Amino acid sequence: MDKQRRNFLKIASVTALAGIGAPALIRLSSTAALASEHAAAANPVAKPAKGAHGEAASTGIRLGMVIDMRKFVDDPKLLDKAINACNLVHNIPQIDNRKSEIKWIWKAPFENVFPEQSQSHSAHNVENFPFAVLCNHCDDPPCVRACPTQATFKVKGNGIIAMDFHRCIGCRFCMAACPYGARSFNWEDPRPYIKKYNPDFPSRMRGVVEKCNFCGERLALGQEPACVEACKGTGALIFGDLNDARSEIRQVLDKEFTIQRNASLGTKPSVFYIV
Amino acid sequence: MYNKGTIIPGLVIFVLLVTSPIWLNGLKAATPPKPELPPGGEKKCVMPKEYMRDNHMKLLDDWRDSVLRDEERVLVTVEGKTYRKGLQMACMQCHSNKEKFCDTCHTYADVNPYCWDCHLTPKEAASKEDTH
Ligand code: SF4
Ligand code: SF4
């Protein structure tokens, strides 16, 4: 009996060792392979660096927005108009509660939007007027990297950071990853808080994250984003392809001095502000 | 065999228990569902009826992926009328009564798809009519 047990223990420990060792061996060999792959893949795309903060230009269409705060200061009702247009089009619930509120485009004070900028002796406009904030549709979006289900992803054709609500499991990794607070979580069933339905768009359900989608569904129909349409004629929101040198947005960017939210993070926001 | 007296009646009871749904319901099966035809009188669907019966869920999944992920929001045209791909945009334009269409079979088959947790039925949408 004793002898048998000793044999059993020997065999068991050898098997266990082999079991523990095998994955390590596999990992070792595969990292070597991966590393060489990476090196090979990295070389052809390596470009001369443009400078510490220069953006490596992405190719293809990259949709972006310029927010001209001067225009919103001129017309204090304009921003509400833009926000309401978005709320209506996307069936966004109006929850009066900081924890549960859902925001796609909203107002925030300058010091919250640009915490890294100097706050002392700011101009009146900057101190007294709320800024328009929305998802930056970053060219290098941390939210996409964090999402375990690819529920949030970059649309290849236009650079929009979109969401497939069907796939969202509500883990909120993306909310932790987004440095701009651009995402909201549905803590409760949003439907009772939706005032009017747009029958062309779904609502969301409890447990799903949502954010601005640059009106992908409207662009597909040849329409402008709802907020841009609401500001039509004022030039307050300029929308277009950042990679097209002849686009209106590029003309504005070439002419005006603009800032991005915390550009030093390297997320490459596609939303620019004229203060 | 030992304990014949207990085992055989026990087996009989077991078999009867396991097959009880057949004896209880078998002869009065629920009437098969009759989903409502489009109230607007449309005759043709985006796919043949037989295909839709078996695969509408697959088609909806494919539409979802192509619209959201591949930006292929192309329109579907049926008998000269165009629809945007989607449950709310296309299907419900003809099958406008979810309760009389979707629910009939889903209840019969005891499946609970969660489409309507987010998608608006025409009835739900009309309950808070948007006027913009
Ligand atoms: S602003 Fe936030 S949510 Fe939007 S793309 Fe950038 S990281 Fe993602
Ligand atoms: S909450 Fe949803 S979108 Fe965000 S990371 Fe998790 S699965 Fe992705």
A219-235, pLDDT tens digit by residue? 999 999 999 999 999 99
- What are A134's strand-pairing partners? A105
Nearest to A262 by CA among A253, A252, A272: A272
Q: So what's the pLDDT on residue A51?
A: 42
Higher local confidence (pLDDT), B27 or A34: B27
Higher local confidence (pLDDT), A127 or A247: A247
Higher local confidence (pLDDT), A117 or B12: B12
Q: So what's the pLDDT on residue A3?
A: 67
Nearest to A102 by CA among A113, A114, A94: A94
Higher local confidence (pLDDT), A185 or A49: A185
Q: Does B112 touch chain A (CB under 8 A)?
A: no
Which chain B residue's Cα is nearest to A192?
B128
Which chain B residue's Cα is nearest to A203?
B118
Region B122-128: what's the mean pLDDT? 90
Nearest to A198 by CA among A73, A90, A271, A41: A90
The first and second tokens of residue A246, run together, are 């002849």
Residue B71 has pLDDT above 90, yes or no: no
Domains of chain A, start order: 61-274 (3.30.70.20)
- What are A161's strand-pairing partners? A154
Residues in chain B closer than 8 A to A229 (CB atoms): none
Residue A32 has pLDDT above 70, yes or no: no
Among the partner-chain residues B68, B126, B128, the one whose CB lies closest to the CB of A164 is B68
- Residue pointed to by tokens 């591949």: B70
Query: Which of A65, A67, A139, A143 is the best mutation target for the ligand 1 pocket, counting ligand atoms within 8 Å of the beta carbon and taking the most?
Result: A143
Nearest ligand to the CA atom of A165: 2
A215 three-class SS = coil
Percentage of residues of chain B with pLDDT beyond 90: 60
How far CA B37 is from CA of B85, B96, B124, in Å, comes to: 20, 10, 20
The mean predicted confidence, pLDDT, of chain A is 87
Q: So what's the pLDDT on residue A43?
A: 44
pLDDT grade, residue A41 (50/70/90)?
very low
pLDDT grade, residue A15 (50/70/90)?
confident
Q: So what's the pLDDT on residue A31?
A: 44
Q: So what's the pLDDT on residue A2?
A: 59
The first and second tokens of residue A252, run together, are 């504005």
What's the CA gap between A92 and A49, in Å, rounded?
42
Give B79's Cβ-side CA count (13 Å radius).
8
- Residue pointed to by tokens 């440095």: A179
Q: Does B6 touch chain A (CB under 8 A)?
A: no
- Give residue A170 CA to ligand 1 midpoint distance, Å: 16
Q: So what's the pLDDT on residue A13?
A: 82
Q: So what's the pLDDT on residue A39?
A: 44
Chain segment B3-36, per-residue pLDDT in tens: 889 999 999 999 999 998 888 877 776 788 889 9
The amino acid present at A39, given as its one-letter code, is: A
Do residues A161 and A142 lie in contact, with contact meaning Cβ atoms separated by under 8 Å? no
Alpha helices in A179-247 (DSSP H): 216-219, 226-230
